[in-house]
Amino acid sequence: MDLYEHQARELLAEHGVLVPRAEVTDSAAQARRIARALGGRVVVKAQVRTGGRGKAGGVSIAADPPAAERTARRILGMDIKGHRVGKVMLAEPVDIDAEFYVSYVLDRAAGRFLAIASAEGGMDIEEVAASRPDAVARIPVDPAEGVTPAKAAEIAAAAGLPPQTVDVLVRLWQVLVREDALLVEVNPLVRTRQGRIVALDGKVTLDDNARFRQARWGSDDPGHHDPLEAAAAAKGLNYVRLDGEVGVIGNGAGLVMSTLDVVAGCGARPANFLDIGGGASAEVMAAGLDVVLSDPAVRAVLVNVFGGITACDAVADGILRAVDRIRPAKPLVVRLDGNNAVRGRALLDERAHPLVQQVPTMDGAARRVADLATAG
């Protein structure tokens, strides 16, 4: 379950991470009163469970309480990537000296977590990751060890973060472990001109299997889900919709994230994150393709699977089942490697479906799918 930003920041504050003062409302008139209580000048932020709010106009600075009311009225009711804005959060502004990016995410395929951090946070972190991947550090985290001060110092050093962030990195790990989270992300984490480290925005995804321990957040709110994300969740898939034209399916969060970066580096934009997990069956593969191909923005799909627990022949079987049932008009580029890869490739070769192409390497497959998606 994805938390709203105001819920995520509540968790961060409970674990000792500094956040700006803020309040949430569904009323433009109330927004004026909140702004007055926060000192007049505020940041008005749409509360939706998706990214890209700033570029969509869902985050604005209001100079005074009347402006806060006008801004809240404009943002309330907006549609941001299929999510209707029902509430806004008003936060006191922060005097920013530098912006950073930090997150912890579950890497299912590797059986561990991954710390991702960069000294260049903010709205354009995706572009930074695509154009200069060396600016984004990816550090494996052993769940049994966790993020100790020494591990946090390693992450900070690898990403070029200042030493003051070490304590925050430890606290963010505590949020992940103690609150049953699969993802904890802060973008941006900022250093103020006064030298404080403050989380300006937070994203937290809780493990659905731990809902009984996280009852205070209430039931999930399907009315605020992207329809494709809701369809994927109903199939038990870990899917996040993005803004691009290349559908991406892989097994393991680390492999999928790397695939997104490689696709972006080839000049195309990923349309989604879809992790089918470490032991995906043919049925799961078919369900994933069904969801990805339902996105009208997708022009080509890349299936990138490294077989460990997952058997590549089962993946190939799932692909063939999906194309028979869905009858897609969009090309699929498939890269299979690892467990039963030879058998999986043979299955696809035997069928020789005109829309399914095989490429043996991840880089080659990414280049091919980018060419298909951006042609014409």
> In this structure, which long-range contacts are made by residues 128-131, counting pairs with CB atoms below 8 Å and at least 24 apart in sequence?
129/261, 129/264, 130/261, 130/264, 130/265, 131/265
Instruction: Determine contact, residues 40/84, Cβ cutoff 8 Å.
Output: no
DSSP string, 320-360: HHHHHHH--SS-EEEEEEETTHHHHHHHHHHH--TTEEE-S
CA-only gyration radius of the chain, Å: 21
Output the CA–CA distances (angstroms, integers) from residue 151 to 107, 154, 170, in the order listed. 17, 5, 9
Tally Cβ neighbours within 10 Å of residue 43.
Answer: 22
Tally Cβ neighbours within 10 Å of residue 92.
Answer: 16
Q: Where are the beta strands (DSSP E) in the chain?
A: 22-25, 42-46, 59-62, 79-80, 83-84, 88-91, 96-107, 112-118, 136-141, 181-192, 197-199, 202-206, 238-241, 246-250, 272-275, 300-307, 332-338, 356-358
The tokens for 8 are 């995520």
Considering the candidates 4, 23, 99, 101, report the single residue annotated as catalytic: 101
Instruction: Determine contact, residues 276/249, Cβ cutoff 8 Å.
Output: yes
Considering the candidates 120, 185, 229, 245, report the single residue annotated as catalytic: 185
At position 351, the amino acid (one-letter code) is R
Please indicate whether residue 101 is annotated as part of the active site: yes
Instruction: Determine contact, residues 115/139, Cβ cutoff 8 Å.
Output: yes
Pairing verdict, β 96-107 and 59-62: unpaired
If you ran DSSP here, which 8-state letter would residue 194 be given? T
At position 156, the amino acid (one-letter code) is A
Q: How many helices (H) and strands (E) does the chain have?
A: 12, 18
Q: Count how many Cα atoms sit within 13 Å of the Cα of residue 228 in the half-sphere of its side chain.
A: 25
Active site (catalytic) residues: 101, 185
